[in-house]
């Protein structure tokens, strides 16, 4: 029992914490910054003002995390984000293929809690900053209402990943809010005043079929006349059932999206409950009789508020023209996605989206404050114009960039630097190298690491795929739209590709060979050849695409057949790493005055529908050699960048050999978990949760056949094998025993490996 005598005043219980890096904000960006810094050796405090991690991706908001893959609706092939965020997505995909937001919460919490260098403060809102001088943060205070504790956190470095930028705001960091004029950065997509200068918030809800009729009585604050929403006809009974179909329930773009958040939330509740009242009680949706409102968001998902100024501000031109930056440390690929400020009350379309031809680079200089010397920026508040923010704001792009912040912080602590110092050319090279060690993908930056022993090894394998055919499985695909096969070609004459067609009536088909304007892009905007081929009626007819074209450098090319409903192509149940069938989805057309050009979008279907086409290839494509595992790229770019064993190899083995014994303590292997799969974190169901290409069982041997490691049931992209004590070996072999293809029900080659790194000491530690 506690008895407290009256006092004039009491103080809160205070806990003082000291760390290397204090991260404010526990969305996907804050989580990935904290994880990456902690793994590099920093002591990290992660302060999150909500009861769970994930921000907009958490069970409180339930928006799926997404980024450069664009739901597979762009030309960004094999574009899923990498590093720590890939680990999280792959784990969630494995455990949670149905897309349960609560399960995703558990994955995020587990990933953070298992890092001993992270102190996690949930339900703790930052509210005060102390500075040692005008440009330096010394401490941040946060209050946890759940335990009535005030946390006073001191750090060498700080990272604002809070979305609204509470840490940057309190510290006096330069920021912007609203849209720049077209003239400031020469951005033709900059919006007019009528369109609005801010993106609003959205709120989501979900329903459940309980098997019996359910009555709904709307609260008094629900919107009474749904026709006040210009797009009310887009409301459907299944809208709240399993996906956020009503993402366009958006509001607040003409208000202060920081300080008016509660006002915005109430308006969104008014709209959402009014929509549900309309679904249940208008009589227009009899199929909704057994639906109950299972969940309504309690906080809105925020899109835009403050954007802080770094030493560089990303703009429309950086994205659309895929500009190169020497200090690139991450990438984006979502469209420039701008919404009318009036949101749900606007008569305009819910969004306008403009895509680049491929992924774009994000420079490190956007990730620290230009005037607060020890403040990193992560998440949607990084240094960008309003137009560029339309792309950089999405969660997986934010997470990818935040990983660069985590490692940059480690370099700062090790060398007693400030964030700006890391932007120097020599230090950027080290940052890039260390990011690539962790699996980060940086466009056009290969992993050339002098400490990686694999790069000095002679690399061989028991076999390498020479792709000459994909066998039919009895299914067909009608050419209601253009279809084709995206193949990796090496320098030389373009090979002939023969498809097999079922034709219902005599017809002519147009076939094309296409490639992209840049070797690393996959937008098929350059036509290398076109033909028109006559086909009689009949089944299983060879359709040979042979073009007089020469490939001058490694790149992907699209062998495609244009739409013709009289023709169906035979499909194959065989799939190969770095090979993909795609279909013409739409043509990206915009006025040239907007500085966005016209091109076609060819994209694959989602699993389980994604199939390749049965074909024969002459000469065979030999782009899958064992040397690919040390070429510096761990995903398809202009080539597959993977060793792929032959279909017939019953015991595929990859070997790395040196002339003299090497000291080996760590081996990192990157397997194929299908970089094309978006792995949306919540709400989108995923077929099986297993990736057929991924090697599940493998063994590692040293000299004289000594077994060094054995692993079973792996489902992760990257596996870091750490030996209890370093070993001496002149030869390392990796024996691939099985993948997940049999469980998924497709046939793939028995082994695929993108990357192997071999080190004599721990490559992850910086401090």
pLDDT at residue 296 in the model: 95
Series of mean pLDDT values for 10-residue runs along the chain (767 residues): 91 97 98 98 98 98 96 96 98 96 98 98 98 98 97 98 98 98 96 95 93 97 95 78 75 98 98 95 94 94 98 97 98 97 95 94 98 98 98 98 98 98 97 97 96 98 98 96 98 98 98 97 97 97 97 98 98 97 90 83 88 96 98 98 98 97 98 97 89 98 97 98 97 98 94 98 95
Distance of CA 109 to the CA centre of its chain: 19
Q: What is the pLDDT of residue 308?
A: 98
Q: Is 743 left (phi over 0), alpha (psi -120 to 50) or beta?
A: alpha
147 vs 150: CA distance, rounded Å: 9
pLDDT, tens only, 373-414? 999 999 999 999 999 999 999 999 999 999 999 999 999 999
The pLDDT, as a whole number, for residue 234 is 87
Question: Count of residues for the chain?
Answer: 767
Q: What is the pLDDT of residue 419?
A: 98
Distance CA 239, CA 426 (A): 52
pLDDT for the residue 265: 98
Other CB atoms within 10 A of residue 714 CB: 18
* Residue 292 and residue 225 in contact, taking contact as beta carbons nearer than 8 Å: no
> How far from 359 is each of 330, 396, 586, 598, CA to CA, in Å?
10, 13, 19, 17
User: Residues near 729 by Cβ (< 8 Å), separated by ≥ 6?
Assistant: 661, 662, 664, 702, 703, 706, 708
- Among left, alpha and beta (phi > 0; psi -120 to 50; other), residue 70 is left
Distance CA 759, CA 757 (A): 7
Which residues on neighbouring strands pair with residue 612, listed in sequence order? 572
Q: How far is CA 108 from the centre of its chain?
A: 16
- Phi, psi at 176, each rounded to 5°: -130, 155
Residue 557 burial (C-beta neighbours within 10 Å; 0-12, 13-18, 19+): buried
């Amino acid at each position: 029992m506690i008895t407290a005598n009256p006092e004039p005043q009491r103080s809160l219980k205070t806990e003082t914490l000291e760390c290397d890096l204090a991260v404010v904000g526990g969305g996907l960006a804050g989580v990935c910054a904290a994880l990456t810094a902690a793994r590099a050796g920093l002591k990290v405090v992660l302060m999150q003002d909500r009861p769970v991690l994930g921000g907009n991706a958490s069970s409180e908001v339930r928006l799926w995390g997404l980024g450069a893959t664009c739901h597979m609706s762009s030309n960004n092939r094999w574009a899923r984000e990498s590093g720590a965020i890939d680990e999280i997505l792959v784990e969630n995909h494995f455990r949670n293929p149905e897309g349960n937001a609560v399960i995703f919460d558990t994955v995020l919490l587990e990933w953070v809690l298992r890092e001993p260098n992270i102190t996690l403060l949930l339900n703790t809102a930052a509210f005060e900053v102390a500075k040692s001088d005008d440009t330096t943060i010394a401490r941040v205070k946060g209050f946890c209402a759940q335990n009535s504790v005030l946390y006073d956190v001191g750090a060498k470095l700080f990272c604002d990943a809070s979305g609204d930028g509470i840490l940057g705001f309190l510290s006096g960091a330069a920021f912007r809010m609203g849209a720049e004029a077209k003239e400031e950065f020469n951005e033709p997509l900059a919006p007019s005043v009528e369109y609005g200068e801010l993106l609003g918030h959205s709120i989501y809800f979900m329903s459940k079929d309980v098997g019996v009729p359910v009555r709904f009585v709307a609260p008094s604050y629900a919107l009474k006349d749904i026709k006040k929403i210009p797009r009310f006809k887009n409301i459907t009974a299944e809208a709240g059932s399993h996906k956020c179909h009503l993402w366009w329930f958006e509001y607040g773009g003409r208000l202060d999206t920081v300080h008016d958040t509660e006002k915005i939330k109430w308006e969104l509740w008014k709209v959402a409950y009014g929509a549900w009242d309309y679904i249940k009680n208008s009589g227009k949706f009899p199929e909704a009789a057994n639906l109950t409102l299972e969940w309504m968001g309690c906080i809105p998902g925020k899109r835009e508020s403050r954007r802080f100024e770094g030493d560089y501000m990303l703009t429309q031109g950086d994205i659309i023209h895929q500009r190169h930056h020497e200090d690139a440390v991450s990438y984006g690929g979502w469209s420039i996605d701008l919404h009318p400020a009036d949101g749900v009350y606007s008569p305009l379309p819910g969004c306008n989206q403009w895509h680049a031809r491929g992924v774009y680079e994000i420079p490190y200089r956007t990730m620290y404050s230009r005037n607060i010397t020890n403040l990193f920026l992560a998440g949607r508040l990084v240094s960008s114009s309003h137009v560029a923010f339309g792309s950089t704001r999405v969660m997986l792009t934010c997470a990818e960039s935040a990983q660069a912040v985590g490692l940059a912080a480690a370099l700062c602590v090790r060398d007693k630097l400030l964030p700006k110092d890391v932007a120097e050319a020599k230090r950027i090279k080290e940052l890039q190298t260390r990011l690539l060690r962790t699996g980060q993908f940086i466009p056009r930056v290969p992993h050339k690491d002098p400490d990686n022993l694999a790069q000095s090894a002679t690399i061989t394998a028991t076999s390498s795929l020479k792709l000459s055919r994909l066998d039919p499985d009895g299914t067909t695909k009608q050419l209601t739209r253009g279809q084709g096969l995206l193949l990796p070609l090496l320098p030389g004459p373009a090979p002939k590709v023969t498809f097999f067609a079922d034709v219902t009536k005599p017809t002519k088909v147009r076939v094309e060979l296409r490639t992209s304007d840049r070797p690393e892009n996959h937008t098929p905007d350059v036509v290398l050849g076109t033909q028109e081929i006559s086909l009689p009626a009949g089944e299983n007819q060879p359709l040979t695409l042979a073009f007089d074209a020469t490939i001058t450098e490694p790149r992907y090319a699209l062998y495609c057949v244009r739409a013709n409903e009289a023709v169906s192509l035979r499909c194959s149940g065989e799939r190969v790493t770095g090979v993909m069938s795609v279909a013409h989805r739409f043509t990206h057309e915009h006025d040239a005055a907007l500085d966005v050009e016209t091109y076609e979008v060819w994209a694959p279907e989602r699993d389980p529908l994604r199939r390749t086409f049965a074909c024969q290839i002459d000469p065979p494509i030999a782009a899958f050699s064992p040397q690919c595992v040390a070429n510096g790229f761990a995903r398809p770019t202009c080539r597959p960048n993977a060793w792929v064993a032959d279909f017939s190899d019953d015991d595929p083995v990859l070997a790395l050999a040196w002339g003299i014994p090497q000291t080996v303590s760590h081996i990192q292997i990157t397997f194929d978990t299908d970089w094309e799969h978006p792995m949306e974190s919540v709400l989108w169901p995923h077929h099986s949760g297993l990736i057929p290409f991924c090697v599940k069982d493998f063994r590692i041997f040293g000299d004289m056949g000594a077994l060094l490691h054995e692993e079973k049931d792996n489902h992760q992209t990257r596996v870091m094998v750490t030996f209890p004590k370093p070993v001496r070996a002149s030869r390392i072999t990796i024996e691939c025993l099985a993948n997940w293809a049999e469980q998924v029900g497709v046939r793939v080659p028995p082994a695929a490996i993108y990357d192997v790194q071999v080190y004599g000491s721990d490559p992850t530690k910086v401090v």
